[in-house]
Structure 1
Amino acid sequence: MKKSLAFLMGLTVVASALTGCGGAKSSSESKESATSATEATTAADTTEATTAAETTTEAAEEDEEENYDTGDASLDNPRNQDEIGENELLVLSFGTSFNDSRRLTIGAIEDALEKAFPDYSVRRGFTANIIIDHVKRRDNEVIDDVKEALDRAQKNGVKTLVVQPTHLMDGLEYNDIVNEIASYSDAFDKVVIGKPLLTTDDDFKRVENAIVDWTKDYDDGKTAICFMGHGTEAESNGVYAKMQDMLTADGHTNYFVGTVEASPSVEDVLKKVKEGGYEKVVLEPLMVVAGDHANNDMAGDDEDSWKSIFEAEGYKVECLLRGLGENEDIRKLYVEHAQAAVDSIK
């Protein structure tokens, strides 16, 4: 049967070979070699044990530092079940260890896709293993990473695999997903990958309308409404500037977009807010989830959080801790992207 891969960006295959050589040795040389080998093995074992102990200690310290409640993990559906059937819709997300947000955002997107595609079994995969490990250690909830999810699909005899990432943009991580899925192209009869949230101009317009409508109760002419995105070093970081330009062009001059790890920075946003003479600031994440970045980098009490920076300038600040996945219009857009992927293989 001819295999089809509807969206493929290429594979890089790296191969390495190990070679060895040997010859006759004297008795003393053999003893020295044996002694050296024993010492090397002991050193390696000690190093491995030390590394494992350090990792365990770091994990324990991390859990001790997490002295806030992220919600009940038992309410979340990790969607790692077998008995998938021939058709699977695999939803891939970066992930979050904040249990309530995971359920209300990623979980809500998965639920919307399950309702829209009753002929497909919806399953979950996270790209961030550090989050997967943290949730497993803390809550004993098992979430597949991308490889585990793909292996599960293959083991279950899935023939048609539709993958819908929840990523905002076609950036580095989205491309990594495409490449990893490409390596499994021969494992299924058909594989297709849906587009990220912000792909077409229509996508941008609809997301703009969604976030403006979502925050209309705060739009009183005296309040600066600031959205915090993640940011990336890749060219795709331009989505934030594009969203800002669209908001400004459409008359939403009190709406501002910044990022945690790229530009525009919080300093760039603060400068614009000052120029506007606003009295109050509303902060909200421009992210699928309201996880660590939203709770700490945006709404945290440390002096370098967005909240603290604006408060230090005399603004009254309100933080809206909700991810884009909680917005019904955003979920509809993900469903439409998945529908376009499904339609491409019919």
Structure 2
Amino acid sequence: MQQRKAIVLAMFGTTVEAALKGLLTIKTAMETAYPQTPVRLAFTSNQIRRIWRKRATDPAYLQAHPDIPQDILAIQGILAAIANLQDQGFDTLIVQPTHVAPAEEFHDLAAYVRGLASIRTMKPRWRPFKTIALGRPLLGAYSLHRAYADDIRIVAQALAEDAALAKSHDAALVYMGHGNQYFPSGGLYLEFAARMRQFYPGVLTLIATVEGFPSLDEVVESLRLHGVRRVMLKPFLIVAGEHATRDLVSPEEDSWQSILTREGFEVIPVIKGLGEETPLVQIFVAHAAEAAADAGVELD
């Protein structure tokens, strides 16, 4: 029987209008790569979806922001997006996360997909899905078939322009990751930074996180150890949303830019999400294709 295939992009989401570009760029790249396969968006953050639902019913907001696409105004959670596709007759789904690390959000998403894939009916033809497969986050996931270390190397290679820009300013490159106080994702971030230093030895690349380890304090210590005086700050986040505009470079005294400036560093901010970087976006496209291939599905 012919499969009806679709891709669901599972994104944390953002409420910052300007940051939507990073998310929509990923969707456009996926549609370009697989023009015969419908692509749907889903936001995994309950709070962000609530904000968009409120905005979608506010005439003043809609008038002030006429360029917000309907995909965003009508955004759904992952379960609702999948249910709608199933109701429309799609029985083969590739769920591709745009999360950076295989941490809390990804594990919740994986639990949803496993649960849906486990559904059995008395008559096999009434199963809701022939196939539902889950792709890997940016920095990979736990797999016996696709080593996460390879994914980290690919990400580091894709960020050559960041290293070149930092080098042109004679600056260290400091990324802001999200992190998690309850999930040990710090090792992945540190391995990524180590690969950046390996590939681009002329640039000191470091990473800290908003939550958990490594913290900005560790980065400051490393900068002092290496005698660095100039720092290029950039979000290691899919979108340059609230963390980038508030925690990274706002004039507030606890922003990273303010802290580093007080510590005596010259700071060069680059406010651009990873979703706006074409080489990074193509990694998500490749991860979707690999998840499909592992499940015996060909995207077209």
Q: TM-score range by the shorter chain?
A: 0.7 to 0.9
Aligned to 1:235, the other structure's residue is in SS state: coil
Say which of 207, 224, 237 aligns to 1:257: 207
- What whole-Å deviation, never above 9, does each CA across 1:47-79 have from its counterpart, x for those lacking one? xxxxxxxxxxxxxxxxxxxxxxxxxxxxxxxxx
- Quote the residue 1:332 is aligned against: 282
Q: Structure 2: which amino acid aligns with 1:180?
A: Y
- What whole-Å deviation, never above 9, does each CA across 1:149-191 have from its counterpart, x for those lacking one? 1221122121111110011122221111011122222321111
Aligned to 1:284, the other structure's residue is in SS state: strand
Query: TM-score, with normalisation over the residues of structure 1?
Result: 0.72
Structure 1 runs (4+) deviating above 3 angstroms are none
- C-alpha contact (below 8 Å) 1:222/1:279 kept by paired residues: no
**What are the residue-to-residue correspondences of 1:133-148 with 2, within 5 Å?**
133-140=50-57, 141-148=73-80
Q: Does residue 1:183 correspond to 2:121, yes or no? A: no
Aligned to 2:9, the other structure's residue is in SS state: strand
- Quote the residue 1:235 is aligned against: 184
Percent same amino acid at aligned positions? 30
Q: Which whole-Å CA distance do the structure 2 matches of 1:224 and 1:291 have between them?
A: 23
Q: Structure 2: which amino acid aligns with 1:323?
A: G
- Quote the residue 1:204 is aligned against: 152
- C-alpha contact (below 8 Å) 2:10/2:43 kept by paired residues: yes
Aligned to 2:137, the other structure's residue is in SS state: coil
Aligned to 1:198, the other structure's residue is in SS state: coil
Unmatched 5+ residue regions in structure 1? 2-84
Displacement of 1:221 in angstroms is 7.1
Q: Structure 2: which amino acid aligns with 1:310?
A: L
Q: Which whole-Å CA distance do the structure 2 matches of 1:241 and 1:293 have between them?
A: 20
**What are the residue-to-residue correspondences of 1:177-326 with 2, within 5 Å?**
177-185=109-117, 186=119, 187-199=128-140, 200-220=148-168, 222-232=170-180, 233-250=182-199, 251-326=201-276
Relative to structure 1, the CA distance from residue 189 to residue 125 in structure 2 (aligned partners, 3 Å threshold; closer, same or farther) is same
Q: Does residue 1:94 correspond to 2:1, yes or no? A: no
- C-alpha contact (below 8 Å) 1:222/1:278 kept by paired residues: no
Displacement of 1:139 in angstroms is 5.0
Displacement of 1:277 in angstroms is 2.1
- Quote the residue 1:125 is aligned against: 42
Tell me the C-alpha RMSD between the 2 structures: 1.8
Aligned length: 262
- C-alpha contact (below 8 Å) 1:290/1:321 kept by paired residues: yes
Relative to structure 1, the CA distance from residue 122 to residue 249 in structure 2 (aligned partners, 3 Å threshold; closer, same or farther) is same
Aligned to 1:197, the other structure's residue is in SS state: coil
**What are the residue-to-residue correspondences of 1:60-79 with 2, within 5 Å?**
none
Over alpha carbons, which structure has the higher Rg?
1
- Quote the residue 1:169 is aligned against: 101
- What whole-Å deviation, never above 9, does each CA across 1:280-334 have from its counterpart, x for those lacking one? 2111011111111111111111111100001112222121111111111111111
**What are the residue-to-residue correspondences of 1:26-41 with 2, within 5 Å?**
none
Unmatched 5+ residue regions in structure 2? 58-72, 120-127, 141-147
